Amino acid sequence: MSWSKDLVAASATPIILSILAEKENYGYSIIKKVEELSGGEMQWTDGMLYPVLHRLEKQGLIKSKWGKSDIGRRRKYYRLEKKGKKELIEEKRKWSVINSVLESVCQQKTSLI
Amino acid sequence: MSTENIFNLKIAIHQWENSFREINTDIEGCIEELVSHLHDSMAEFRNKGFSEEEAFQLASSELGQVPSIVVEFSKNHTVEGFDVIRFSVFFATWIFLSGILYYYGFFKELGFHIGCCVGILVSWVFLETLPLLKKRGGLINKFDKLRFIFSAFILFSFVSILVYLGLYDMFQLMPGYLVASIFACVLGEFMLLFVGKQRLKLTCSMA
């Protein structure tokens, strides 16, 4: 399935914030988590994740720190900030509205058919 | 067998890193993170049985095209007009105050006006050099260096001209330096905002 660039961009923030709400995480793992949660339907271009992460950090929603991987390689971990938690609640509310609107519209269409 | 064809991972990664730098040095601080991702991705391909070279090719292609990544990063570096004014006023005030401090502390023997100018210049150099020393976070780049040189030049020239023309009398000495500093900072930062936007356009056109 191909995803429009706009849809991917719009959904990236709530998805990333939700994943980080579980625990602190790093870029590669976030990408894998998205693939896993979407059953392989959503496949982000790996390199596009990092500018988004940096933007979210600039906005104060997440915070990064350098750590080490199991084999001792440097790796950057991200965690959700207080402001990010608030943003996530707001994002979830907005997406829930969009979802209910879509469902209502689809139901109306089905009943007309 | 010729050794020229043997795949060298270190060289390949180094060349890959440089392909980012060639387009835009603003993302210097982000490259290490991308390389870390590349290693993670390569490890997975290696586990699937791919050779080192194949793993590198697949991992780098999964990361996406270098110009596109650079464009996305560059978007994060843009600043808005309001930020420019805010920073300019903050810097100008800081420079003005520390300029006076330097004057009274170190440059009094030079005379008031020259002392203030030298003080302001020293403060500016100090203020602009600090971020340049910060190695991580993408602060060492050509843009920052350009900003340092350009801003220092504008600021010092403007203050010098003001002193030379005797216009400082209009602002009654001290406030004159403050006004001059703010004016120079605002002008300098807006010029840099313009340069930054032009560079982003250029990077976008390359993607």
Measured in angstroms, the CA of B64 and the nearest CA of chain A are apart by 6
Tens digit of pLDDT at every position of chain B (207 positions): 444 457 888 899 988 888 887 776 566 678 888 999 999 999 999 999 999 999 999 999 988 888 788 777 777 765 555 555 556 666 666 666 666 655 565 555 666 666 666 666 665 665 555 555 444 444 445 555 566 666 666 666 666 655 555 555 555 555 666 666 666 666 666 666 666 666 556 555 554
Per-residue pLDDT at A92: 94
Question: Tokens in use for A21?
Answer: 């709400």
B75 interaction partners in chain A (CB closer than 8 Å): 51, 55
A47 interaction partners in chain B (CB closer than 8 Å): 34, 37, 63-65, 68-69, 72
Decide if B133 contacts B145 (C-beta within 8 A): no
Nearest by CB: A54 against B37, B40, B76: B76
- Tokens 């805010």, located at residue: B86
Interface pTM (ipTM) of the complex?
0.85
User: Domain map of chain A by residue range?
Assistant: 5-112
* d(C-alpha A34, C-alpha B53), whole Å: 27
The yes-or-no verdict on residue A82 having pLDDT over 90 is: yes
Per-residue pLDDT at A19: 96
* d(C-alpha B158, C-alpha B177), whole Å: 10
Helix, strand, coil proportions of chain B in percent (round to 5)?
85, 0, 15
Q: Is A55 on the interface with B (CB under 8 A)?
A: yes
Task: Give domain A5-112's CATH number out of 3.30.70.20, 3.20.20.80, 1.10.10.10, 2.130.10.10.
Answer: 1.10.10.10
Per-residue pLDDT at B113: 61
Nearest by CB: A51 against B36, B41, B76: B76
CB contact under 8 A, B68 and A46: no
Number of Cβ within 10 Å of residue B30's Cβ equals 22
- Tokens 């060289």, located at residue: B11
Decide if B203 contacts B22 (C-beta within 8 A): no
Number of Cβ within 10 Å of residue B78's Cβ equals 12
Per-residue pLDDT at B140: 43
CB contact under 8 A, A47 and B64: yes
Backbone angles phi, psi at B161, to 5 degrees: -65, -40
pTM for the model stands at 0.62
HSE (CB half, 13 Å, CA atoms) of B68?
Answer: 11
Cβ-based burial of A6 (10 A; exposed 0-12, middle 13-18, buried ≥19): exposed
Secondary element (H or E) of residue B157:
helix B142-165
List pLDDT tens digits, range A27-74.
999 999 999 988 888 878 888 899 899 889 988 999 999 998 888 889
